[in-house]
Structure 1
Amino acid sequence: MVYGEWLPEPLSFDHTDHKLIKEQTARYTLLVLLEKLNAKERAVYILKEAFEYSHQEIAETLDISVENSRKLLSRAGKQLQHIKYAPDTSYSTDTQILHQYQEALSEGDITRIEELLMDDIRLSADGGKRIRVIKAVETGKSATASLLAYVQQQFLTGKRFTFHIFSHQPALCFWQGDRVYNCHILDIDDHGLIREIYSIVDPEKLKRVL
């Protein structure tokens, strides 16, 4: 039994100064979306976008035709929409939104939370095999804000929190003692609105985060 949506383990760069590792690691949102592709679509997309293979090189590597490589990339691109593999390393605006998000949560102010969210916001929660989640997926500004306020009141009030960047995206971690209890990773659009929230409570994924 797995509770909630499967989400990848957060990856922190706090303790690495290896530039290549940072540059070649995709944004967290893209890592989530890559899991929705089939194996060949994912392979073609990564070889093309991350390693800049030509379609001829991809075809030879995967033992497919050049035309098939192009079709697979096209299908993958449609599903991944406008998200590029290359990470955006400009964090100033995102970090400001992250602080506003934390303040709105701590106050349980549903109206203020709603102001930070896109109309079609999507929240996904991953409890792994041990932690039940209130809801695996919630969508829509009003419903998501209400759920966030409820979770804050019931489970997160009084817990210490810290701010981070995981896989090139801002994150808010809540602590219980010396371990991370819950981690919210935010995907923020160009207008400063939150379009995705990834809430990870799976202790197996959180124990190696920091």
Structure 2
Amino acid sequence: MSLHTHQADLFESSRGRLEAIAYRLLGSAGDAEDAVQDTFLRWHAADRDRIGIPEAWLTKVLTNICLNQLTSARVRRETYVGQWLPEPLLAGDRMLGPADTVEQRESVSLAMLTLMERLTPNERVVYVLREAFGYPHREIAEILDLTEVNCQQIHRRAKQHLTTDRARTEIDAAAARKVVEEFLAAALSGDTEPLIRLLADDAVSVADGGARVSATRSPVVGALRSARYLRGLFRPSAARRASVGGNPALHAAVVNGGPAVLVAVGERILGVICLEATPDGVGTIRLQVNPDKLERITRQWTAAGPHRPLAQMW
């Protein structure tokens, strides 16, 4: 069927919400974009005159597409080289979706997106739609073809699986920049002691190179080991400068609601270092260096430029 202007406009008015749902479900901006595009193609082919509530129809179609992707993603993750981390997004990216409540902000944090990998596909859908978008259990049950009671049980299980002992600190842009400045001062000091003081005792460093870029394949656990690991990354090296085509500039940013360092050469982001702030210090350091997961953030960052770096890396 041909798509009339008002029907195309109706879909476009829903695109941002659909992207935000898909990103939370898949942890990948690229996969989320593909899922939304597949939803559009099905909307285009549907008998739209028989669709009573377009928003509900679009959400159900998108959710089913994401469920299929989540199932196949589990197989892909089993052969993923090294540690898998979610794709980072800059503050202001519409794919981050609503951020009015603590639950909405938490649902898109890298910590929560990583934890949600523990959930079954149905648990993830129920948790995201309920916590981040406020869908009533009745509507979620209809989307998943479940009973409302079953949906409530799945929601309780999901919340239990996502329980963590570590308290995350919510910070604004100014506080995030301060965390980044303190981190860079310690990382560039030439000594591990400043880093150790900045990190929580049980700090963990995790890197995702996706077999595209060299990265440690196992988490580095503990403040001392993490400090030594990070110090090695920031140690000046002519060979590293040559391999990336210059001296990387270090920028402060807010990524998925938390403080982050963007590592860039020219207009190309080579890596994102996300710092999870906790009352005990920086708890988890997530290094995303897989080029496949840096394309969207590079576009967003370049479009918002020019940027003044805080420091140079090597």
Q: Name the structure 1 match of 2:159.
A: 77
The 1:59/1:208 distance shift into structure 2, 3 A limit, reads closer
The 1:3/1:29 distance shift into structure 2, 3 A limit, reads same
Taking the aligned partners of 2:84 and 2:95, their CA distance within structure 1 comes to 28
Alignment equivalent of 2:144, drawn from 55, 58, 62: 62
Q: Name the structure 2 match of 1:168.
A: 257
Bigger fraction of residues in helix: 2
Bigger fraction of residues in strand: 1
TM-score, normalised relative to structure 2: 0.58
Q: Name the structure 1 match of 2:215.
A: 133
Unpaired runs of 5+ in structure 1? none
Alignment equivalent of 1:122, drawn from 195, 204, 207: 204
Q: Per the alignment, in what secondary structure is the counterpart of residue 202 of structure 2?
A: strand
Q: Runs of at least 4 residues of structure 1 off by over 4 A?
A: 154-158
Query: What is the CA distance between 1:177 and its match in structure 2?
Result: 4.0
2:83–2:217 CA contact under 8 A, matched in 1: no
Considering only CA atoms, is the larger Rg found in Structure 1 or Structure 2?
2
Taking the aligned partners of 2:95 and 2:113, their CA distance within structure 1 comes to 19
Q: Per the alignment, in what secondary structure is the counterpart of residue 188 of structure 1?
A: strand
Taking the aligned partners of 1:64 and 1:168, their CA distance within structure 2 comes to 33
Q: Name the structure 1 match of 2:64.
A: none
Q: Name the structure 2 match of 1:21.
A: 97
TM-score, normalised relative to structure 1: 0.83
Q: How does 1:1-210 map to 2 (within 5 A)?
A: 2-13=80-91, 21=97, 23=99, 26-81=108-163, 88=170, 90-153=172-235, 159-189=248-278, 191=279, 193-209=281-297, 210=301
State the Cα deviation string for residues 4-47 of structure 1 (Å, max 9, x = none): 21112211235x5x698352672222222222211011011011
Greater relative contact order (Cα < 8 A, sep 6+):
1
RMSD of aligned residue pairs (Cα, Å): 2.8
Question: What is the aligned residue count?
Answer: 204
2:90–2:256 CA contact under 8 A, matched in 1: yes
Taking the aligned partners of 2:137 and 2:144, their CA distance within structure 1 comes to 10
Taking the aligned partners of 1:62 and 1:112, their CA distance within structure 2 comes to 50
2:199–2:283 CA contact under 8 A, matched in 1: yes
Identity across the alignment (%): 29
Query: What is the CA distance between 1:187 and its match in structure 2?
Result: 1.2
Taking the aligned partners of 2:124 and 2:283, their CA distance within structure 1 comes to 23
Taking the aligned partners of 2:161 and 2:192, their CA distance within structure 1 comes to 31
Taking the aligned partners of 2:213 and 2:268, their CA distance within structure 1 comes to 15
The 1:151/1:5 distance shift into structure 2, 3 A limit, reads same
State the Cα deviation string for residues 153-193 of structure 1 (Å, max 9, x = none): 1667853111111121111012234321221011112x261
Taking the aligned partners of 2:172 and 2:164, their CA distance within structure 1 comes to 17
Unpaired runs of 5+ in structure 2? 1-78, 242-246, 302-314
